[in-house]
Structure formats: C-alpha cells, structure tokens
C-alpha cells in the first residue's frame, strides 16, 4: 500500500532540496498516502547519528487532497548539525494500526569551504612508476631492499614465492621520472589533465607501498630535482601532479622501523630511544607489533602519536606541505578509511594552507558517505576531509552492466551515490574501470571473469584468444565512453588505452608496451579525451537519464544551453532510441536526425547537437 507514490526520496515532489544538504538547510518532506489507507496522522522520526543518536519526532501537517491521496508535509531543520540523519515516517490508521516507511539517509555536510574543481573536471592518468617508461637500465647496488632489475622491458614480473615462501616484490623494471617527462606530450595528447602517481618515495618493493623514506624520491626513479622538473614541465603543458600518500603504515625495511638495519640511524626495532619508537605499537618489542592486515613487512603507524602527526602534516616542514611546495598539486590517501578522521582532517587542512588549490582524494571501496570502519562511521566527505573518493561502486556496477547486467541496476547504483554524496564529492569522484589493485579491464571484459578458479601459474601464462580480445575491445570502448561522459574525473590506468591485458597483481602491472600499442584503442581514448576537453557539459554539466533499461544506457550532460548525449547499447541486438535533437557523433562524425534512431548492437554514441539546427 505504501510505495514510491507515497514517498520517493529522489523526487522533488517529496523531498526538497535533492540529496545531501549543507548544514543549516531546512529539508521539506512530503507524504502522499492513499486515502483508502485510512490514516489519521503521520510523524517524521529523525535520528541525528553523530549527535549521540538524538531522536526527534515531528508531526506532519495535512495539506489537503491530491486525487485519491492525502498530502502531508513537515520541515526538518538541520541547524549546525554535520553528519548523517536517518529518517523514517510512522503513519497511524483510524483503527490504530501503525505502518512505517524508511529509514532513509540524509547526508548533512559542511559547505564552508569551496572544493577546487580542477580534479573532477579533468582526465586523470594513473602511473605505476616502475612500469611506465625507463630511460636507462638502473644499477640497484646500494639501494634499500636487495633489488634485482629485469634487463628486458618485456619480461614477465616475478610472482612466485621465494625459498622462504614469500612474494617479495623486489624485482624492478626501472621506470623513472625522466621517462615520464619524455612522455608528457603523449599524455597531454591523450587529453590527460592530472597524472596520479602510485608511490614515488624510497621503498624496498617495486610497488613502493611500504615506504622507507617519505623525504626521498626513490633513487631508481630519480632525484628530488627530477621530480621538481617533472612538475614544472607538466604544469607548463597544463597538467597537474597527484601523489600517493601511504600514511597508515611504513615498510619493515624503512628508516623509521629499520627492521633489517639498512639505515644507520636506529629505528624503532633497534632502540626504544629511537625518535620513531613511539610511532608503533609493540606487544613484544622488537618482534611483535601491529601491522597492516597482519603483514609483518608493513608495520602499522600509530596515527594518534603527536610526533607522527607533526611529521606527516603538522609541522611547517611536514611531508604533506613539503611535496606540495616541491610541485605536487594534490594527494591520494591510501586506505583512507584506516586513517582516523581527525588525521585525514589534519592532512586536508595542511594541504589547503600550503596550496589553496590542493585536492585530497581518498581510497574507499564502498559508498563513502556511510562507510563504517573499525566501528566508526567515517566523515570522509562531510567537508574538511576528502574532496572526493575513488569510485569503486562506479567500476563494479559498470562492469556488471557491460558483462550482461541490466542498465537499470547501474543507474540505481549511481543515483544512490548522487543522493548520498555532497555535490562536491560526486563531481570530484575518481571514476575508473581498473587500477593497480584490479585485473586489467580488457581481460575482465574479454574473458568475463578473474578466473580465480584456475591456479596462479595458469593466470600468469594466459593470453586472450583473438575472439576474446575482440570482445574485450568492443566492451572497453563502450565502458570508456560512459567513463568519460559521467560526472567526476575519468581515470585511465596506464596501458589500458594501449590494450594491456593480465589478471591480478602482478600481471596487471606489466611494463607499458611502447611501440606495441593497440592503435585502435589508443585512438579511441584520444578521441574521448579530446571530447572531454572541448565539451563543457562533460566536465561540469548536470546529469539526466534518458534511458536505463535492459542493454541500453543513455544519459544527458547539460550545462546552460549546451547538451551532450551519451548512449550505449551493450547488447547483441539493435535498439531504438529517441534523440531530442539532430546530432553528430563525436567519435565517428556520423550525423543523426532527431527522433527515433537505431542504435546498433555493441555500439556507443557521444552526441552533440548539430550547429544551426
């Protein structure tokens, strides 16, 4: 009896304003229960979660009839509250029965600060530094970690355990910052606005997520001067640089923990008098300590320790401030939901004080508005913490659609984010199809799964058949079109545009195939980047769905009088679609008339209105 005609939180007829609201905004809520239900009263019940779960009950006022339905309204004040409000409705029948609707989420955020728009509007390119481009074969002698270097750029990364049963990730290919600088024109030609680097600081492993020294560029990548020159060159081409901040843990082999004694200064494992000893929690010094997910080689930092906070963000020479001054434009926070909220806030504040245009993006794998980590509801996107998040819900739902799911499910998942996220976070999301933590998107779309039912040797050796590669390429074209047309920053994982394949780490981290690129895909991505750069609606326009049913997904991006229509048919049969105006496809130059048009199977359009019509 009580349905979306009674209340729909996404319909302005029932809730105004739409979605998340700034603190201090009153929210008007309306119910339209059927008169046949015989309800005598309705009450709004609101739980202010971060205010000790304060509960308010507000009687709704009868406003009259609309056809065969009653209309009741109430205004919910938010005052100075920031956090989630869970609200529901209790209706009482004339016969005394009770019926409830809800609960629904209302996100109330702090809007006192303007979030820089450059990140969400631009195209991002993720680089795994060791595997992008090298200018020389480096000599690892004397470097932390006991490294080896592949002499051939096209060898397979090591994946088997060593004699001790460990996968140590100490095999390097020698990608460097000068190599990235060489390829800046290529990246700019691809339409890239932001280069997001996986960690570049000294570390023993090729992925560099076990930081050894935050103050030093890894010598295999180059020097601090190389980094500064790269930033200057990127800025001169209109590009920005985002660094990966790994602050939840360091490496066992680091100047701070110094588990193998590589560094001359005593670390936490050598001496309790070390200035770094308070940074770690030992249950039995020196061999039992908190570590990230129980991995001994990644001792976890105590983010409540004042000296650690001062080092990372508090002091004038802190790590956050230092590298922004060196030329970086923002930080991506690794495992952001494992950092305390006030620690993230401290990073955010230090970044903005150092560079008012700096952006902080958090790694979160779920809906970041209501994420609970370690028993705490997180404040990721309530203002003053993260400006945007990595959008794994976008990736997961888009892949599900491309592999045969209903477009309606993708739309519903994205609408849930749009409803729950403050606008700044929705439009500053880092959207993607793949990262260094996921199998290559071409492989997933061509093979159809991650093939975990096979052993790792099988996955290491596997290469797609020509039929699988062709299917993966066609699906990737459709997925990337949606990616570049959707609100938020479209992020390319290095080499996806070149047709790289492979399952999970390290097979998704092979060296970039310079000279062996899939030109068809590279040209496609280049055209998408060009469209994103030239069409304002794709960078900052509103979103309106035209169709999301079955195998067809179509939506409009609108800014003032400009409109762009993205349409995808991921099915194997032609579909009809009503076009609102005569259009030209940016990807092919094909002209289409207004009205009903046939969208062929496995085809995507990026349409702009024909000039003068």
Distance (Å, whole) CA 437 – CA 299: 20
Alpha carbon 151 to chain centroid, angstroms:
34
Distance (Å, whole) CA 406 – CA 416: 16
Task: Give Cα separations from 106 to 6, 200, 419, 459 (angstroms).
Answer: 18, 39, 8, 44
Distance (Å, whole) CA 457 – CA 430: 33
312 secondary structure, DSSP code: I
Distance (Å, whole) CA 187 – CA 379: 34
Distance (Å, whole) CA 503 – CA 448: 11
> Where do we find the tokens 């629904």?
104
Distance (Å, whole) CA 224 – CA 226: 5
Distance (Å, whole) CA 223 – CA 243: 15
Distance (Å, whole) CA 240 – CA 567: 30
3-state SS class at 30: strand
Could you list the active site residues? 334, 363
Residues 278/304, Cβ–Cβ less than 8 Å: no
SS (H, E, C) 320-353: HHHHHHCCCCEEEECCHHHCCHHHHHHHHHHHHH
């Amino acid at each position: 009896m009580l349905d979306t005609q009674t209340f729909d939180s996404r319909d302005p007829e029932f809730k105004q304003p739409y979605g998340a609201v700034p603190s201090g905004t009153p929210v008007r809520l309306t119910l339209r229960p059927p008169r046949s239900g015989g309800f005598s009263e309705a009450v709004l019940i609101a739980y202010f979660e971060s205010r000790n779960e304060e509960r308010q009950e507000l009687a709704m006022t009868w406003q009259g009839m609309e056809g065969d339905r009653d209309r009741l309204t109430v205004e919910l004040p938010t005052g100075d509250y920031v956090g989630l409000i869970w609200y529901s409705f209790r209706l009482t029948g004339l016969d005394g029965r009770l019926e409830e609707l809800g609960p629904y989420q209302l996100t109330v955020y702090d809007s006192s600060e303007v979030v820089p728009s450059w990140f969400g509007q631009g195209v991002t390119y993720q680089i795994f530094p060791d595997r992008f481009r090298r200018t020389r074969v480096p000599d690892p002698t004397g470097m932390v970690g006991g490294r080896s270097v592949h002499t051939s750029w096209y060898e397979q990364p090591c994946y088997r355990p060593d004699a001790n049963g460990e996968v140590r990730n100490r095999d390097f290919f020698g990608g460097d910052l000068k190599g990235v600088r060489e390829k800046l024109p290529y990246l700019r030609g691809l339409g890239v606005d932001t280069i997001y680097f996986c960690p570049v600081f000294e570390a023993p492993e090729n992925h560099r997520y076990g930081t050894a020294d935050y103050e030093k560029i890894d010598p295999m990548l180059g020097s601090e001067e190389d980094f500064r020159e790269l930033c200057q060159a990127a800025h001169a081409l209109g590009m920005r640089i985002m660094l990966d901040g790994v602050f939840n843990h360091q490496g066992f082999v680091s100047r701070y923990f110094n588990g193998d004694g590589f560094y001359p200064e005593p670390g936490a494992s050598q001496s309790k008098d070390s200035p770094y000893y308070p940074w770690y929690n030992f249950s039995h010094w020196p061999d039992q300590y908190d570590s990230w997910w129980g991995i001994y080689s990644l001792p976890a930092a105590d983010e409540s320790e004042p000296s650690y906070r001062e080092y990372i963000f508090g002091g004038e020479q802190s790590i956050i401030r230092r590298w922004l001054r060196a030329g970086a434009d923002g930080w991506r926070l690794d495992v952001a939901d494992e950092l305390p909220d006030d620690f993230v806030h401290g990073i955010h504040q230090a970044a903005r004080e150092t560079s008012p245009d700096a952006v902080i993006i958090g790694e979160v794998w779920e809906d970041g508005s209501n994420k609970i980590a370690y028993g705490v509801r997180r404040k990721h996107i309530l203002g003053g913490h993260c400006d945007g998040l990595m959008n794994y819900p976008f990736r997961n739902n888009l892949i599900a659609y491309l592999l045969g799911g209903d477009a309606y499910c993708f739309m519903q998942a994205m609408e849930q984010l749009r409803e729950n996220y403050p606008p700044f976070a929705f439009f500053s999301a880092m959207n993607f199809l793949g990262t260094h933590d996921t199998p290559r998107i071409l492989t997933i779309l061509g093979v159809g799964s991650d093939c975990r039912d096979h052993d790792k040797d099988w996955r290491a050796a596997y290469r797609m058949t020509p039929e699988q590669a062709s299917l993966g390429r066609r699906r990737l074209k459709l997925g990337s079109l949606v990616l570049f047309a959707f609100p938020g920053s479209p992020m390319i994982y290095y080499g996806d545009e070149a047709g790289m394949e492979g399952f999970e780490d390290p097979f998704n981290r092979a060296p970039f195939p310079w000279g062996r690129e899939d030109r068809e895909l590279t040209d496609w991505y280049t055209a998408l980047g060009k469209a994103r750069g030239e069409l304002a609606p794709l960078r900052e326009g509103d979103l309106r769905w035209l169709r999301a049913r079955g195998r067809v997904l179509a939506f409009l991006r609108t800014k003032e009088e400009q409109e762009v229509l993205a349409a995808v048919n991921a099915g194997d049969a032609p579909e009809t679609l009503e076009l609102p105006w005569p259009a030209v496809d940016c990807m092919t130059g094909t002209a289409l008339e207004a009205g009903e048009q046939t969208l062929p199977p496995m085809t995507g359009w990026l349409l702009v209105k024909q000039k003068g019509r």
